[in-house]
Amino acid sequence: MRILSLGILLATVFTALAQEKRPNLLFIYTDDQRWDALGFIQKQQGGKARFPWLKTPNLDRLRSQGAHFSNAFCTTSLCSPSRATFLTGQYTHTHGVTNNHTPLPPGTVTYATLLQKAGYTTGFVGKWHMGNQPERPGFDFSASFDGQGKFYDCPVTIRKNGGVRQVIEEKWIDDASADYAIGFLRENKDKPFSLTVGFKSVHGPREPETDFKAAYAGSEAVPVPSLQLTSPFRPEAKNGNSYRGENLLNYFRTLTSADRSLGRLLDELDKLGLDKNTVVIFTSDNGYYLGEHSLGDKRSAYEESIRLPFLIRSPFNNVSGKTIDPLVLNIDIAPTLLDFAGVEIPKEIQGRSLRPLLEEKPPADWRKSFLYEYFYERNFKNPTILGLRTTTDKIIVYPGREQWNEIYEVGKDPYELTNQFNNPDHADLKKQLLSELERLKQETRFQVPSTVDPDNFGNENPKRGKNRDLDL
């Protein structure tokens, strides 16, 4: 009996030690942050920088301690679809969250549900935003708000140990989220955890934290050539003041405010000694236009909308200050988290783990292109879009509106100034891109999701409600 008891005790101890060695996971994302809305990127761009006055000291710190993925993209540039993609590792046409009003379907398998099953303590803090869905499936703890929330006086619902309570947070909401995240870190520092933090910044209507309300006063964005262009689906648009004034400055003020909240999380990891065993991933759900192609918001397929900031700090990889160039996507978050945790990646996941890139061992078959998709939403002016982005070129297809189709040699034409779709000198490129688009549709099992009105897909005259171009 004593031998048996000793065996059980030793097994328990060894299990506990093994669990301690399992990496912790901290995934942080902002809302609507452009790929170039990073202080270190602006410094790198030198004379080509649009926002040379931007300061993001903690994102710069994370970059110096980790890897920067210089070619990171979302597969659908819209908040809820991209957030569902983070969770599932799937394209929008697969997981079915095609707009900002559809909740994550019940029973959806996510990195959180899989990590939870594997013994991780899972937490979610901040902005969820898939409709007004109250549940946070797969998370043991959550301190989160429904829909867009508010920067001040935001109702936050706290779910813990089966209990539910709501508080009104008077504090600036991303600082409040940092408080909840820090509490989670302290409480779970001695066991493997996965914590996801969704900041509300930089989504509008923007209210910076008090200390940053006057930041960047008098600054303006440096004009770029694409401000003078329009898109085929909005030829009447004018860029107006979308890249000037308080609206622009508040975009960056809220970002710098959130950067400080991020710094508090990094400081806490250091203080608790968790930095030595915690993988930190940072990105945003989508990009954002600041007047390029006379557009605001996101949704369409130009670079400012689909390209993401993307950083990973890993104590298990020597990547401090390194730049990683291969194409990476928001569908890669889930498999990367699972891979670090040693959890089998289900075949239903369409992304790929980024660990081989961090280990500087990129597979020979790493992607050279990816599929972009956006499905028309009633009440918005953007049409359904399918696109293909390679390392050097891009094709944008508007089903039912083929006269709008576009091809850009983004490697040579980064501002996407010259549409080559109907240029006979680029007929071979057009053929190649159309062929690759069809191949990717087959590979990703593309279909029109059930949440999309078929009358609004590939229809020259889609059913339209009241047109809006709002920051939603």
pLDDT in tens, 58-92: 999 999 999 999 999 999 999 999 999 999 999 99
Token pair 């930190």 in the structure block, residue: 280
- Residue 75, C-beta contacts closer than 8 angstroms, at least 6 positions apart: 82, 85, 91, 92, 329, 330, 331, 370, 371, 372, 373
**pTM for this structure?**
0.92
Half-sphere exposure of 312 (CA within 13 A, CB side): 26
Q: Per-residue b/e over 281-309, b at no fewer than 16 CB within 10 Å?
A: bbbbbbbbbbbbbbbbbbbbbbbbbbbbb
Is CATH 3.40.50.2300 the right assignment for the domain spanning 16-358? no
Q: What is the pLDDT confidence band of residue 20, given thresholds at 50, 70 and 90? A: low
Identical fold, 16-358 and 369-456: no
Q: Any residues with CB less than 8 A from the CB of 228 and at least 6 apart, and which?
A: 239
Rounded (10°) angle between helices 245-272 and 57-65: 50
CATH of 369-456 given 3.30.1120.10, 3.40.50.2000, 3.50.50.60, 3.40.190.10: 3.30.1120.10
pLDDT digits (tens, 9 = 90+) for 402-428: 999 999 999 999 999 999 999 999 999
Coil, strand or helix: which one is 239? coil
CA distance 111 to 89: 8
What ranges do the domains of the chain cover? 16-358, 369-456
CB atoms within 10 A of CB 270: 11
363 and 351 in contact (C-beta within 8 Å)? no
Displacement of CA 261 from its chain's centroid (Å): 18
Match 């020597």 to its residue by tokens: 318
Q: Looking at residue 220, what is its pLDDT? A: 94
Q: In Å, how far are 4, 5, 6, 15, 119 from 11, measured between CA atoms? A: 10, 10, 8, 6, 16
Lowest mean pLDDT, pick from 59-63, 140-144, 242-246: 242-246
Q: How far is CA 394 from CA 314, 366, 386, 388, in A?
A: 32, 18, 11, 6
User: Higher-confidence residue: 57 or 452?
Assistant: 57
Q: Is the pLDDT of residue 358 over 90?
A: yes
**pLDDT value for 465:** 40
CB–CB of 26/282 below 8 Å?
Answer: no
Q: What pLDDT is attached to residue 457?
A: 66
Phi, psi at 279, each rounded to 5°: -85, 125
pLDDT-based confidence at residue 459 (cuts at 50, 70, 90): low
One-letter identity of residue 275:
D
Q: What is the 3-state secondary structure (H, E, C) of 333-359?
A: HHHHHHHHHCCCCCCCCCCCCCHHHHC
